[in-house]
Amino acid sequence: DIQMTQSPSSLSASVGDRVTITCQASQDITNYLNWYQQKPGKAPKLLISDASNLETGVPSRFSGSGSGTDFTFTISSLQPEDIATYYCQQYDNLPLTFGAGTKVEIK
């Protein structure tokens, strides 16, 4: 299985701050990486596919980059409604695997 290592596991930032989350794959996954947002008590929501492709309707303050083994997810200006846990997920190989998640809180 491909292991996905996310960091940090949690972070606290102020409204308007730039927030960055990293995800490292245990082997080269090209750009076969998605990012999801999960709010408490809700199902995950797809935000970004193919490492950097923003899904329709997702605010432009969200972005993703990277290829190979190292990926980055960024919120350019943190908003109160962005409080959630964010997960990366690879689809280069089966089984599909997720990172452990990054919980984002407001300072």
For residue 54, the SS3 value is strand
Give phi and psi for 22, each to the nearest 5: -115, 155
Q: Is 94 in the site for other proteins (CB under 8 A)?
A: yes
- Strand pairing category for 10-13 and 102-106: parallel
Q: What is the smallest separation between the CB atom of 43 and other proteins, expressed in angstroms?
A: 4
Of 16-24, 62-70, 74-82, 92-100, the segment contacting other proteins by CB under 8 A is 92-100
Q: Is 46 in the site for other proteins (CB under 8 A)?
A: yes
Cβ atoms of residues 88 and 71 within 8 Å: yes
- Residue numbers at the binding site for other proteins (CB under 8 A): 1, 32, 34, 36, 42-46, 49-50, 53, 55, 87, 89, 91, 94-101
